[in-house]
Amino acid sequence: MLYSRTIGTGPDLVLLHGWGFNSELFNDLVDRYKNQYRITMIDLPGHGRSDNVSGGLDEWCDEIIKNLPDNPILLGWSLGGLFAIKIATKIAISKLILVASTPNFVQTNDWPYGIDENNFRQFSDALEFNLSKGLKRFVSLQTQDKTQLKTLNQSIDKFPASTKALNQGLEILLTTDLVDEFNQLKIPIKVILGNHDTLVPYRISNWYDKAKINTQALNTGHLPFLHKDFTL
C-alpha cells in the first residue's frame, strides 16, 4: 500500500517525487499552491511511508494509479517523470508536467540527451553508500535557503527509502526508454528544466522545442521547484 496525502482546493494536481526522496520534498510547493489546486502527494513504492512493491515500472505505475483522482494534472520530478509519462499512456490525465525529467535518462547512440551510464552508476553508488549524507549533500548544492535545507534534511532522515526500492528505482532509471510513448501523447505537456542540471542535461530543451513542447528553463539545478521563479 502506498502512502498518499491530499490537501487544498481546486483542480486535482498529483505530485510524484524522485529517487531516494519522499513526498515531503514538495512541502514548499504545496504551501504555495494549495489554494489553487487540490494536491495529492504520493510516496513512491518503498520510499517514505509506502510499502515495497515488487516488479518494475509497470507494477509501480499500477500501484500509483490506485491513489489517483480522476483525470488529474500529473507532475513528475526526476524519476517521478518516468512514472508520470507511463501513467499518461495508461489512464486519462488532463495535463502532464515534467520537472527536471526526461523520457530517457541514459545517453545512447540514438539519444544524446541523457547522461553517461557509468557516471550515473557512480553517482548512485556514492549516494547509496550513505544515503542520508548523500541526499543532504545533493540538496545543499541545489538551494542556499537555510530554512528549505533544514526541512529537506529532516524529511530525508525521517522517511528513508528501502534498499530494495533504491535498487528497483535505479534499475528503472537506467533501463527505461519512453521516447516513443512520450511522442504519442495527445495531452497538454509542460516541461520545466534547470539550466545547471547535471542529471538531466539542459540540451534536452532542444529536443523538447522541436517536439513543440511548452518548455521553461530556470537558473537552477536538479530541483527547479525550489526556485522562487518556479510556476506551474
Instruction: Just list the catalytic residues.
Output: 78, 197, 222
Is 227 in contact with 219 (CB distance < 8 Å)? yes
User: What is d(CA 123, CA 94) in angstroms, rounded to the nearest whole number?
Assistant: 34
Is 120 in contact with 105 (CB distance < 8 Å)? yes
Question: What b-and-e string marks burial along 72-101, b requiring 16 or more CB atoms within 10 Å of the CB?
Answer: bbbbbbbbbbbbbbbbbeeeebebbbbbbb
Name the DSSP class of 2.
-
Planar angle of CA 141, 145, 151, nearest 5 degrees: 90
Name the DSSP class of 16.
E
